[in-house]
Amino acid sequence: MEKKLLLVVVVLMVVALAGSAVLALAPMGPPTAGLKTGQLRAGAEYSYSNADFKVDWSGGEEYTAKDVKLNMIFANIGYGLTDDWEALVRLGAANAKGEYYEDEDVISGDSKFAFGLGTKYTFLKQENINWGALFQITWLKSEFTDSGTYDDTTWEETFKLDAIGIEIAVGPTWKVAEGLSIYGGPFFNFINGSVDDDYSETDSPTDSWSADVKQKSIFGGYVGAQLDLSQNASVFAEFQFTGAGETFATGVGWKF
């Protein structure tokens, strides 16, 4: 009865925190460790995010970049440090799409290298519910270049996004049936990044601007499910809820 009540409390926290305006970058998966000591897991993951960013240009002007879309794809390797503690390395690519400025042209960034590190720890084990916490950090880049000609003048403009995302989550992994688990919980999310804008014309020096990019709130919540395909293979899917948008993530992994 107590563990069911605790699970209800966490679900209510997820719903409440879903009203916060944040953007989570990378897949999180269950907040509990899933590897034995010395065990390896290889996997592939994908996430799609659509939310708002807080943008502060170097000139002092601040605005909200709406409906920024992020696509991220990773290959990853997990390792069991102990039966209750695992570590993760991600390598992949990411791209971003959004407005350069309010109501102006949409910028579609090229995919650039992205990578991440993470860890999970199970701190409480019960009959069908384990409780854990995770920490992960993700680095990503995206770049867009546009050019043209007017009045015999050739111009070129390049935008570069460089961002770091950090997630800290806590919650349960609940085994609801053989081979099927539901997980989730509240999380803290921090994003710190920059956008650089370089503009040049024929026979003219390059003009440069920069802006700081941050989340609109540090709170969020997520829920997902994991299905065991075999003794060593599993697949998961999850939603990270926000007031300004959402993230969908999925992935598959093999233990060996």
DSSP state at residue 100: S
Checking phi first, is residue 100 left (phi over 0); if not, alpha (psi -120 to 50) or beta? alpha
User: What domains are defined for the chain?
Assistant: 2-255 (2.40.128)
3-state secondary structure of 25: coil
When the pLDDT of each residue in the chain is averaged and rounded to a whole number, the result is: 82
34-65 as b/e: b if 16+ CB within 10 A: bbeeeeebebebebebbbbbbbeeeeeeeeeb
pTM over 0.85: no
Is the pLDDT confidence value at 8 over 60?
no
For the segment 179-210, what is each residue's pLDDT rounded down to a tens digit?
A: 999 999 999 888 888 878 787 887 777 777 77
The residue with greater pLDDT, 192 or 35, is 35
User: What does residue 13 show for φ and ψ, rounded to 5 degrees?
Assistant: -65, -40
- Cβ atoms of 233 and 253 within 8 Å: the answer is yes
